[in-house]
Structure 1
């Protein structure tokens, strides 16, 4: 039997009803793989080999909530079957699924997993690729695909940019999960908001022109080895300009295909097998590569099998998996 290791955050802190890592674990189990997991602190190197104190787990049954983006699961959603110290290169596949930001702990983990890749075991996503491709900034390599954007910490420069574009979404370069995201207009509040966003000019932020097309949806394109395997629409919440959970299937159009065609060589070259592209009104906003999410929610909402398709192709690259559509 093939086995897979998930290097992830503590299991107790994961939301089993929505977390994409758990969706990949569940799909792995459904496809007959043994599922093991460990935290970054449980990795070590001895005699040139990376070892992990890992737990073999079995996920308990789950079912879609019905018309929602969540799965119904037991509060205790997994059972521990075994604990062992194992050679990580002995796994058939290793998933790096630590939540961003890419800080010291994350970087140290990538350097250890470099040794696993050198030993011949595939790590998804490739550690070198995560270090090379900052998910908030990589889109700027393709300015023709993005809305007008300014990156910096200078409050005067940011204020000038906001005045030029009218309204901007401002977020920290190292931000994640919608934290510290600001909507800044060309008005008397702009300076105060920009001072707060940049911590008084000491923190780099990304400012992008606000796109009214977001009312029609922020499209998440799910990519596997540079190919689109699915798409879903997310919209701002009624009382919040930030993007909420998936709400409907998304049609893939020519603008999406052009964006993916431009990014594909870069993603493939750096081994970023699983990626999530955020697109608004045909403009590329972000390239999620550290711990791409949304698949598990989409599968629950739409009845798709994105997680299964990804696991199947990763474990058997030559196999075609027909199961993405509802």
Structure 2
């Protein structure tokens, strides 16, 4: 393991709320990169899953947590030192890193985490901000920077949108990793079947956007930490005729400096989102248009660091410590 440093007074213990640790692909996982940097700084780590959160009347919000230490190995990368139930307010920072989908259980978890905040816990990203910024819908607030977009369950409205823009992308509001994304071109081939499938015959709301040919150069993940853009993004480039650039859908990740358009978007949106309690945001940018605002568990730390040498995890922990210090002064 790398040499550790003494943690700052504001950050001695951190709790990570995430998917099961044994499922992490540590060679690329962003939450692991955060934990590794925290451990390097001497921060004591604990982990739990949303299912482990509990709130009993008259008591603080607790979780069944496992105190872990990192081994430095790729496979058996952590060992459990102790486990038991503990109040979330006992930790200096709580990192909510559960992957989508943003389903009912995720929604309830944000309410438990918000109660923990009332009891003194410091949660990042803030639970209320997570609820207020569904990752697909959040882009609608920033229409000046986004492609033409429609959110609806109406087949008629979708057909009218297609007639206007001719080449469109349709996707579920709760998807991740490129799942359920369809492109329908000018011929309208299979539009009816796609709409019926995604909307469950008009019972489920979806998102429709004008197709952006710049996807051929990549769907760029632009990271904003503490309101400031990371100077490199990861362009996820579709492969083999795919329309999706997502790494989970087979896209190739290429780190590159932010373009002028990337900087403009990040500087316009970053301070607004940070002020709402979003310490870490991942913007999806195609060409000069932002298509999604990712706030639940933005990724790509390791890919950017490995290809450019810019230590994204260190930037994140610096921002976390700064946020905790600012809270302490308030």
TM-score (structure 2 length as normaliser): 0.87
Shift of the 317–143 alpha-carbon distance from structure 1 to 2, 3 Å rule, reads closer
Q: What SS is found at the alignment partner of 1:142?
A: helix
Aligned to 2:115: 115
* Aligned partner of 1:40 among 38, 46, 50: 50
Give the match for residue 66 of structure 1: none
Whole-angstrom CA distance in 2 between matches of 1:301 and 1:217: 16
Pair 1:17-2:40 in alignment = no
Equivalent position SS for 2:31: helix
Equivalences for 1:1-326 in 2 at 5 Å?
Answer: 2-46=12-56, 47-61=58-72, 73-74=74-75, 76-187=76-187, 188-230=189-231, 231-245=233-247, 247-317=253-323
Deviates more, 1:289-298 or 1:88-97: 289-298
> What is the SS of the residue equivalent to 1:174?
coil
Aligned to 2:328: none
Aligned residues: 308
Q: 5+ residue gaps in structure 1? A: 63-72, 320-326
Q: Please, what TM-score do these two structures have when normalized by structure 1?
A: 0.88
Helix, strand or coil at the partner of 2:265:
helix
Deviations 1:111-168 (CA, angstroms, capped at 9, x unpaired)? 1111222233321100000111111111111211111111111112212212221211
Query: How far, CA to CA, are the matches of 1:272 and 1:4 in structure 2?
Result: 18
| Map of 1:322 onto structure 2 | none
Mapped contact 1:219–1:250 kept (Cα < 8 A): no
Q: Structure 1 239/81 Cα, relative in aligned 2: closer, same or farther at 3 Å?
A: farther
Q: Which runs of 5+ in 2 are unaligned?
A: 1-6, 326-330
CA distance in 2, matches of 1:239, 1:253: 25
**CA distance in 1: counterparts of 2:137 and 2:323, whole angstroms:** 29
Q: What root-mean-square deviation, in Å, do the aligned CA atoms of Structure 1 and Structure 2 show?
A: 1.9
Counterpart in 2 of 1:323? none
Task: Provide the C-alpha distance between the structure 1 equivalents of 2:279 and 2:170, rounded to a whole number of angstroms.
Answer: 28
The structure in which a higher percent of residues are strand is 1
